[in-house]
Structure 1
Amino acid sequence: MNKEEIKELGGQMTISEGSRVFIIPSEKEMAGDSVDIPQDEDKIAELLAYWHTFKKYKWRLIGLSLLVGFFTAIYSDGLEPSYSSTARLLIEFDRANIISIQDISATSSPKKDHFHTQLEILKSRILADKLVDKLNLVSHPAFKPASQQQRFDWSQWLPSGWLPSKKPTTESTPDPIETPEEKQKRIVVNAVRAGLGVSPVIPTQLVEISFESSDRELTAEIPNALAEIYIKYDLDTKLEMTNKAAKWLTERLENLRQVLEKSEKNMQDYMESQNLVNVTGIKSVTVRELEETATNLLNARLQLANNKRVYKQVRALQAGTTNFESIPAILNNSLVQSMKQAELAARRKVSELEERYGQKHPQIRAANAELEAAIANKKTQTQLVIDAIIKEYEMAVAKVKNLERGLKSKKAEIQSLNKKEFELKRLERDIEVNRQLYNMFLTRFKETNASQDLQELQSTVGRVVEPALPPIAPFKPNKKINVIMGLVLGFLFATVFVFVIEFLDNTIKTSEDVEQKLGLPLLGILPKMKISKKDENPYLMFLRKPQSQFAESVRSISTGIMLTGLDNPQKVLIVTSSVAGEGKSTVSINQAFALGQIGKTLLIEADMRRPSLVKKLGWRTNPPAPGLSELVAGRLQLDECIHHTAENESLDIIPCGEIPPNPLELFSSGRFKVLLEDLSKEYQYIVIDTPPVMLVSDTLVVAKFATEVLYVVKANVTPYKVVLDGLKRLRQVNVPVRNIVLNFVDTKKTSAYYGKSGYHGDGQHAYT
């Protein structure tokens, strides 16, 4: 093997091996960082993916389209020729009035609603019933029971549970007591309605009335007759409504007249019973009297407050708790003041005589008698003032009470007047409302009578602008169009079916699936190999056909493993998968041979549940070659369990050996760990083939000793949720998976995904 030359260019690595050059992304790109890809290439790849899907299912698409077209041709060939004719009817919105009186049947709905309403009337059963009677269609040959053709019904070909149950309606449910003639007429009416077509001519006020039948003349007669019946039906409806309105207005007017007379009599009786002439004048006088009484009451209460204050002082004087001199009303009294002056003069006189003569002098006695008389006069006058204060207080209290009674009486009188006024106004309102209502109905009654004779002169709801003519050629079936539509619909249905199948496919197919569904970068893909009987050992394809696409893929993956370990050499490589049958053992063998061309490599078979490594290498299996189980158990030495390969001197193999009763216990032992440490010193790469992650727990134990895990996924087979569960189990034991290998990829069918990058996926290795 030629020596490899490794160069670093712009963050990427290029490896030259002989005439081949490998372009390897940087470690950042291989760790999962996105690589910028032109959007145009993404769009082209997406279109190529759609094209691949079409190519994958092309025969199904063509077969289903032809099948639907074949049945459509058979169906069209069995159809009876059908004719169609159309009449055009103008729907009037604004009708001209001869006199300025509103029509009793006029509506205030918007034009759009009015137009749609007229369309539904044209489709109604009542017009179809009148149409059958007018043209005597019950006796027409086209509607006789013998001529009724059984139409092809697709529902007869479908299972009964696929179609919703039909609920009976009043229109389709026959009357249990209907006569045979009525039943036949109902059938004919339903047939006429089924053949009729009423559609608007947008954005005009025109309506197209068409009919489809095997009778040419009938296809023209029915649309024209329906238009005439519709116009006449509208006119008859207006006349009927006018007559009913006139009759109802007559009865209503009589009732309103009686109500008006009764309300007027009620008002007159009420005024007489309450002796009312002018309620407003009486109320205004009473209000003025109430205001005067309220003013007098306010003044009286102020006066009472003053009198009450003096009255309390007097009562305190009588109780002996105060002196009369503290009461201003008594002290300021002129008579009391004169009596007090007389008392003071008598006291001065007594005092002077005592100083001059002594207390026993006759003049002293006369002066004392005069003093006592002055004091008695003062007390008498004070008592008179007190009596006057009490009397004045009592009069003020009586005045306030009298005014309060008068105020209350005036309020009651005003309230009574308010009630009478309210009742009187209510009676007046009744009279006014009844009079207005009576006048309104009387006016409308006169207008209705005046317009009743002018209904036929008013413009109708519509008019025929283009009558239907008998058709020349059949309307359908158009066999060519039907077959083409059948082919197109069949193709569309098949296309939807194909894409639904693709959508429901939850397997991993492409590098995009790996990155989007698993969130991990794709280390590489291994193409699906074509194995012939001439191949001696198809599992050694890397050695047998070194220039093949498969060998290049294996070599690219091994180169990627080598480069990811430039700073941290990947000594121990674990190869595993989610379930059995994904090709992990084949990957282990070929990767070991590829790494053996780079450095000294050891391949260990750790799948002790279903060992297949020895068989795939073509070695003897009975008795099994000594290997890992004997080595870890200590029954044999290392040189007795290591087997050298003739194909590559740098590759040694330790097979499974004798299957132990409990492989998990074997891998969990300390001897297995020590063994790997010793082997790592002797070999540059150690590749360990382990059991599937989802089947047993052996891989979870072995993976703890690995420096790199190579997770193999079988394309188009393994569901991505199963792969996620396997990756989750590894993460739970702190074993991260950084690379995915997609195996069994049909590169011819997936050229849409790998056309620009060989067969290694976007952002992965490419070779030139």
Structure 2
Amino acid sequence: MRSQDKSDLLEEYSDDDSYSASSRAAGGGSGQIKRLVMALLGRWYWIVLCMLIGWGWAVYALDKTPNRYTATTTLLMKVQVDQVLSRDQIADIPLESMEAMNTTMAQISSLDMLERVAARQDVRELPGLVPLPVDWRPEWLQEKMGVEPPVAGPPPQAANLAKMIRGWLSLSVRPVTRLLDIRIDHPTPEVAKAVADAIASEYLAELRSDAAMNRSWVIELLSEEAEDARELLEEATGSLVTYNQALESKTSLDAHEAIVAQLEQTYLPAHPKMMGALAELKRLQDHFIKDFEIARKAPSEAAYWEEKADFLPNFEQDPEGYLRTGRALLMSRVGILNKEISNRTSLYSGMLKRIEESRVNGEGGELSAEIENLARTPVFPSSPVPKSFYTKGLGGGFAAGLAIAFVLVRLDSKFQTVAQLEGTTGIATLAAISDINVAHLAKAEKLYYSKHPDDSPEPYIDWDPHLVFRPGTSSTSYAEMYRVLRASVSLLGDETKRKITMFSSALPGEGKTSTSVNFALAAAGQRKKTLLIDLDLRKPSIHKAFGIPRIPESGGISDCLAGDAHINDVIIRDCPEKNLHIVVSGKRVGQPGELLNRDKLKMILAWAVENYDIVVLDTAPLLAVPDSRVIAPLVDNFCLIVRANYVPKGAVRRVLEVLEDDESKLDGIVFNGFVETRRAIGENYSYGYYKTSRYGRSYQYGYGSYGSYGAYGADDEDEAESAKALEKRRKRRRKQMKV
């Protein structure tokens, strides 16, 4: 086996995933998805079962779920205009955004609001206010358990009832409107209507209370602000009065300076008029400076002039500069005070006007509402909706079934199809043999003998029903599958040089004996002189397949290996298929493994190759005992039987590792016992659809012993039991054939 094949296989089993990297490499991503889908469809019964359970749940839940009724009260949300209007003039102004409506819905659904509704006496006295609990147990179980029907009790406290009402409540805004719907969903129609109206009424009452409280608070706040504005106005006016005397002195000084300027144009400084004018000017300047200093040092103005101290020159050093700067700063301060008085006068007047407007209309922009429509008592239930229940039941059942199928696929460690087997192992499949339904073979056999009454089934009465090369059955698709296997083996190489074909398996029960026997019959049917040897010395089965003794008088292969007989002497040539000769296992031996001497085997097989066209060996399972590993290097065609949905993938992996360690070449795999379905046609390279029954049951396995296969002779029956079983088979076959 190629090293790459082994690495792919190890990678596939390292994560126990049937669809691993090796599988993707073999079939690609689309092939992987296809196989996964096929595997899921192969477990369709889980999906159907879960969907049926989901449907049953929907029917039961629909029957148990009480009807619920929905009542709707509609509010129209409004905003008052911010201007003086009469009390009955309320403009319908659109709300600024959905945030306002969302805030309103949050206020309505708040527990504080709903507690006030729950505390109302008219609400608490409603019959059927608290819904009765639903008992999901079947009625027959309730009767058997003696469960009394529930009785309505008093309503709970307001806080608990408010939580219940919140569960019944739903709010929504109608698109492109200011209409807010308050819906109550309840099993009692009258309760649904009453609670919806109570919520709307309670919310409107809260709005009116809040509006009155807000108007009172706004007027109080405006009054406080108006008082502050008045005090600031009085302060600015008082500051201006402080400068009145200084302003009068400045005015007189300004007028006399104009007179002096005119006199200077007519008289000289020594003229008596000029000297008198200058003396008066000096007096007025001193008077201004005195008044300016008094105003500047007033307590209310001290802070301002401290900031301006750096701008005033020193009076002693620069009297003229002090006078000039003082006059300019005085006029600047007077201008500032006049502006402040004007602004504070306007603010105070505005506050007074605002107070008057608030007393008339209240504060502008106030949210309000009115009831657009009161709730009506619902007549028809709004829930449960049967379509919704059925959709959820079927959808949930489908999802659950798909999930179960997926988990089973992931956990499944068995091979389902040829494509999966080849993608996992990287080894070619020689043939795919479907599970043999003996009832189909019996019908075909019976039909043949009805058309050929001169032929007798007696030569084949002792044959196992799973042997398909009998009159009437050799033309079935089962026989054709073994002919395909015969052709595939012949294509492995020159038949004259590759005569020995060995069949083995990983575990017992995979069908290696039935495959060996049918393969030998298929070869003999092509006029090939065929020798079939039973080399499974621990649990031989070929003698059972043909209904012949395990220990004939001439002996068996064990006698040849022990040196007590020659191979030519133990061959059974009396067989209905004249080209097939058989060598059974022969007598029991204590240590079969020690009897398989390689030199003796070579001699026996060399004689068989010289005298026969095809030699078929049925050997023991590879993982149970080492017998087949001794035989494998001596054969030309080594075929491994892998039973579908039976052998664990780990067992096949172990077989490939063992063979690689022994340097034994595996020529191909026979995929045996698969159940043909329409979905798998092409995956198993089969010929058509045949409804077949399952064959065999799973065995536990190990790598050191047979497990259920047992030691030599442990499961073997004695000659009396064998004869008894053969007689039962004859009776059953004669009954089927009616001979």
Partner of 1:726: 655
Structure 1 residues 210, 679: closer, same or farther in 2, change over 3 A? same
Note if contact 1:64-1:490 (Cα within 8 Å) is conserved in structure 2. no
Partner of 1:754: 681
Name the aligned partner's letter for residue 680 of structure 2: Y
Structure 2 spans left out of the alignment, 5+ residues: 1-22, 85-95, 141-152, 232-298, 314-343, 447-460, 690-739
SS at match of 1:729: helix
Note if contact 2:432-2:481 (Cα within 8 Å) is conserved in structure 1. yes
C-alpha deviation, 1:73, in angstroms:
5.4
1:406-425 → structure 2 map (5 Å cutoff): none
Q: 1:189 aligns with which of 137, 162, 180?
A: 162
Aligned: 1:529 with 2:458: no
The CA RMSD over aligned residues, in Å, is 5.4
Partner of 1:75: 64
Deviations along 1:316-347, whole A, 9 cap, x unmatched? xxxxxxxxxxxxxxxxxxxxxxxxxxxxxxxx
Aligned: 1:543 with 2:470: yes
- Give, in whole Å, the separation in 1 of the partners of 2:554 and 2:121: 102
- Give, in whole Å, the separation in 2 of the partners of 1:207 and 1:645: 99
C-alpha deviation, 1:547, in angstroms:
1.1
Aligned: 1:507 with 2:435: no
Note if contact 2:54-2:394 (Cα within 8 Å) is conserved in structure 1. yes
Q: 2:135 aligns with which of 149, 152, 159?
A: 152
Q: 1:137 aligns with which of 123, 131, 134?
A: 123
Name the aligned partner's letter for residue 192 of structure 1: I
Aligned: 1:516 with 2:443: no
1:369-380 → structure 2 map (5 Å cutoff): none
Partner of 1:471: 378
Note if contact 1:128-1:192 (Cα within 8 Å) is conserved in structure 2. yes
**Stretch of structure 1 that moved more, 202-211 or 701-710:** 202-211
Partner of 1:561: 489
Deviations along 1:408-448, whole A, 9 cap, x unmatched? xxxxxxxxxxxxxxxxxxxxxxxxxxxxxxx9xx99x989x
- Give, in whole Å, the separation in 2 of the partners of 1:506 and 1:740: 18
1:188-587 → structure 2 map (5 Å cutoff): 188-199=161-172, 201=174, 207-230=180-203, 233=206, 457-460=364-367, 465-477=372-384, 481=387, 484-485=390-391, 488=394, 492=398, 495-496=401-402, 499-500=405-406, 503=409, 504-531=411-438, 536-537=462-463, 538-544=465-471, 545-566=473-494, 569-587=497-515
Deviations along 1:565-586, whole A, 9 cap, x unmatched? 2499543222122211111110
Deviations along 1:132-184, whole A, 9 cap, x unmatched? 2346322222326xxx5222358999xxxxxxxxxxxxxxxxxxxxxx99953
C-alpha deviation, 1:588, in angstroms:
0.5
- Give, in whole Å, the separation in 2 of the partners of 1:502 and 1:153: 32
- Give, in whole Å, the separation in 1 of the partners of 2:203 and 2:654: 72
Structure 1 residues 462, 700: closer, same or farther in 2, change over 3 A? farther
- Give, in whole Å, the separation in 2 of the partners of 1:570 and 1:97: 108
Aligned: 1:636 with 2:565: yes
SS at match of 1:646: coil
C-alpha deviation, 1:232, in angstroms:
5.2
Name the aligned partner's letter for residue 60 of structure 2: F
- Give, in whole Å, the separation in 2 of the partners of 1:242 and 1:604: 112
- Give, in whole Å, the separation in 2 of the partners of 1:546 and 1:631: 33
Aligned: 1:675 with 2:664: no
Structure 1 residues 708, 472: closer, same or farther in 2, change over 3 A? same
Q: 1:607 aligns with which of 533, 536, 539?
A: 536
SS at match of 2:468: helix
Deviations along 1:718-767, whole A, 9 cap, x unmatched? 333433333333333233435332222333xx1222279972599xxxxx
Note if contact 1:577-1:712 (Cα within 8 Å) is conserved in structure 2. yes
TM-score normalised by length of structure 2: 0.57
Note if contact 2:551-2:587 (Cα within 8 Å) is conserved in structure 1. no
- Give, in whole Å, the separation in 1 of the partners of 2:83 and 2:175: 31
Note if contact 2:124-2:155 (Cα within 8 Å) is conserved in structure 1. no
- Give, in whole Å, the separation in 2 of the partners of 1:689 and 1:555: 18
SS at match of 2:72: strand
Structure 1 spans left out of the alignment, 5+ residues: 1-31, 100-109, 158-179, 258-264, 282-438, 763-768
Structure 1 residues 487, 34: closer, same or farther in 2, change over 3 A? closer
Structure 1 residues 548, 152: closer, same or farther in 2, change over 3 A? same
- Give, in whole Å, the separation in 1 of the partners of 2:626 and 2:217: 93
SS at match of 2:184: strand
Name the aligned partner's letter for residue 676 of structure 1: L
Structure 1 residues 473, 668: closer, same or farther in 2, change over 3 A? same
Note if contact 2:598-2:630 (Cα within 8 Å) is conserved in structure 1. no
Note if contact 1:605-1:689 (Cα within 8 Å) is conserved in structure 2. yes
Name the aligned partner's letter for residue 68 of structure 1: W
C-alpha deviation, 1:661, in angstroms:
3.2
**Stretch of structure 1 that moved more, 737-746 or 488-497:** 488-497
1:6-25 → structure 2 map (5 Å cutoff): none
Note if contact 1:68-1:490 (Cα within 8 Å) is conserved in structure 2. no
- Give, in whole Å, the separation in 2 of the partners of 1:690 and 1:228: 92
- Give, in whole Å, the separation in 2 of the partners of 1:681 and 1:241: 118
- Give, in whole Å, the separation in 1 of the partners of 2:661 and 2:545: 32
SS at match of 1:643: coil
Name the aligned partner's letter for residue 583 of structure 1: G
Deviations along 1:534-591, whole A, 9 cap, x unmatched? 9642142223421122111111111111123249954322212221111111001110
- Give, in whole Å, the separation in 2 of the partners of 1:566 and 1:209: 90
Partner of 1:709: 638
Note if contact 2:46-2:404 (Cα within 8 Å) is conserved in structure 1. yes
- Give, in whole Å, the separation in 2 of the partners of 1:116 and 1:213: 24
- Give, in whole Å, the separation in 2 of the partners of 1:153 and 1:622: 69
SS at match of 2:157: helix
- Give, in whole Å, the separation in 1 of the partners of 2:596 and 2:429: 29
Partner of 1:434: none
Q: 1:698 aligns with which of 622, 627, 641?
A: 627
Structure 1 residues 36, 492: closer, same or farther in 2, change over 3 A? closer
Structure 1 residues 644, 199: closer, same or farther in 2, change over 3 A? farther
- Give, in whole Å, the separation in 1 of the partners of 2:49 and 2:154: 54
Deviations along 1:32-84, whole A, 9 cap, x unmatched? 999999x9x99999999877755x579846864664355245425xx3x4321
Structure 1 residues 90, 744: closer, same or farther in 2, change over 3 A? farther
SS at match of 1:660: coil
Partner of 1:396: none
Higher relative contact order (CA 8 A, sep 6+): 1
- Give, in whole Å, the separation in 1 of the partners of 2:652 and 2:179: 65
Note if contact 1:611-1:656 (Cα within 8 Å) is conserved in structure 2. yes
SS at match of 1:575: strand
What is the number of equivalent residue pairs in this alignment?
516
- Give, in whole Å, the separation in 1 of the partners of 2:417 and 2:103: 59
Note if contact 2:531-2:615 (Cα within 8 Å) is conserved in structure 1. yes
SS at match of 2:467: helix
Partner of 2:578: 649
Name the aligned partner's letter for residue 520 of structure 2: A
Structure 1 residues 601, 71: closer, same or farther in 2, change over 3 A? same
